[in-house]
A = this chain, B = another copy of it.
Amino acid sequence: MLTTELEKDLKWPSSIVVSEVGPRDGLQNEKTMFTVEQKISLIERSVEAGAKIIEIGSFVSPKAIPQMADTDEVARRMKRVDGVEYRVLVTNLRGLERAEAAGIKKAKLTVSASRAHSLSNLNRTPEEVLRGFAECAEYAATHGITLSGAISTAFGCSMEGKVPIEQVITAINGFREIGVKELSLSDTTGMAHPQQVYAYSARVKEQFPDITWNLHFHNTRGMGLANVMAGMMAGIGRYDACFAGLGGCPFAPGASGNIATEDLIHMCHEMGIDTGYDLDKMISIGKYVQEVLGKDTSSFVLKAGKSSDIVKVQNK
């Protein structure tokens, strides 16, 4: 058996879609407040580097998340490129109205698969949160906005432990009832492991073949890229990532954030999997983020460089 035959055996995809969620999920976790100009620069540069889906911010309570208070202005002033999906996170009808006013055509709703997490964050059960989305769906339909859904703590919850797939399916059904066709399973707490990712991904993909599936991983316990591999083997083609690997876990201070966009596309390109990104441009964006923050982040490639970087070493 030849190496090339073996490589085929694992059925890697030839390409995946990487959504850049840094402007929202990354920046909202930083104490440093990025200016509107800096945010616009990050968005425009990410799109120029190859992002086809970018989460530019959220329309939520500015008291709860002050880092996202200026998303309206960001959305109005940023340059838009045809064919790129500029997405925002919203939590209710008010957020959706702000999205509409800012000319945003794609909004993401999120619900927690964990009851304890939902109660702790929103003081409402997942079922109550999902019921609240009905008016959003109606508004979206009449205003030309497409909705996607994210299911947070889809694998584990720091308060409840491992989240059974039945709770995930309850959330999926809630989203399906309001007509959402694109869903993300989010490992909010960095507890997912490859076997679980494979099992959950394969299950939802088979049970709900009409849904476009996305996975969202944190690298909290070092399994971020291993989980992407497991997702790819289960046939999932879309992954969130965040420039410089920003985005901590509130339950594990000091822990790593989202998988870094540059780490994910570096691995993919090394494996011959196309992402449509220019890795060097994403590395330079990551370095800019670190400069603004004045600190290192949990990105690996920003520290170590690409595998293809050749080092000249003097003979000893």
Q: Which residues of A contact B (CB under 8 A)?
A: 1, 3, 6-7, 9-10, 12, 119-121, 123, 156, 158-162, 165, 190-191, 193-196, 198-200, 202-203, 206, 219-226, 228-230, 233-234, 249, 251-252, 254-256, 259-260, 263, 266-267, 270-272, 296, 300-301, 303-316
- Docked CA distance A249–B309 (Å): 14
Q: Are A303 and B255 in contact (CB under 8 A)?
A: yes
- Docked CA distance A221–B259 (Å): 12
Instruction: Kindly identify which residue among B120, B159, B271 contacts A194, using a CB–CB cutoff of 8 Å.
Output: B271
Instruction: Kindly identify which residue among B225, B249, B271 contacts A222, using a CB–CB cutoff of 8 Å.
Output: B225
Instruction: Kindly identify which residue among B119, B120, B219, B300 contacts A255, using a CB–CB cutoff of 8 Å.
Output: B300
- Copies of this chain in the oligomer: 2
Cβ contacts A to B, 19 pairs, < 8 Å: A3-B200, A6-B198, A158-B309, A158-B311, A159-B311, A159-B312, A190-B307, A191-B307, A193-B270, A194-B229, A194-B271, A195-B272, A222-B224, A222-B263, A223-B267, A226-B229, A252-B303, A255-B303, A256-B303
Complex contacts, A310 vs chain B, CB 8 Å:
158-161
| Interchain nearest-CB distance for A280 vs B (Å) | 15
Complex contacts, A226 vs chain B, CB 8 Å:
225-226, 228-229, 267
Complex contacts, A3 vs chain B, CB 8 Å:
165, 199-200, 202-203
Q: Are B1 and A304 in contact (CB under 8 A)?
A: no
Given contacts A1-B206, A221-B263, A225-B226, 5 further A-B contacts (CB under 8 A): A159-B311, A196-B271, A226-B226, A226-B229, A229-B229
Complex contacts, A1 vs chain B, CB 8 Å:
202, 206
Complex contacts, A220 vs chain B, CB 8 Å:
300, 304
Instruction: Kindly identify which residue among B200, B225, B313 contacts A159, using a CB–CB cutoff of 8 Å.
Output: B313
| Interchain nearest-CB distance for A287 vs B (Å) | 14
Complex contacts, A158 vs chain B, CB 8 Å:
309-311, 313
Complex contacts, A316 vs chain B, CB 8 Å:
120-121, 123
Instruction: Kindly identify which residue among B193, B198, B219, B229 contacts A300, using a CB–CB cutoff of 8 Å.
Output: B219
Complex contacts, A234 vs chain B, CB 8 Å:
6
Complex contacts, A9 vs chain B, CB 8 Å:
202
What 10 pairs between A and B have smallest CB-CB spacing?
A222-B300, A255-B304, A193-B270, A191-B307, A195-B271, A158-B311, A252-B304, A226-B226, A225-B226, A6-B202
Known: A3-B203, A6-B202, A313-B120. A304 touches B190 (CB 8 A): yes
Closest to A230 in B: B229
- Docked CA distance A287–B116 (Å): 30
- Docked CA distance A219–B313 (Å): 21
- Docked CA distance A122–B96 (Å): 65
- Taking each of A191, A206, A270, A315, which has the highest tally of chain B beta carbons within 10 Å of its own beta carbon? A270
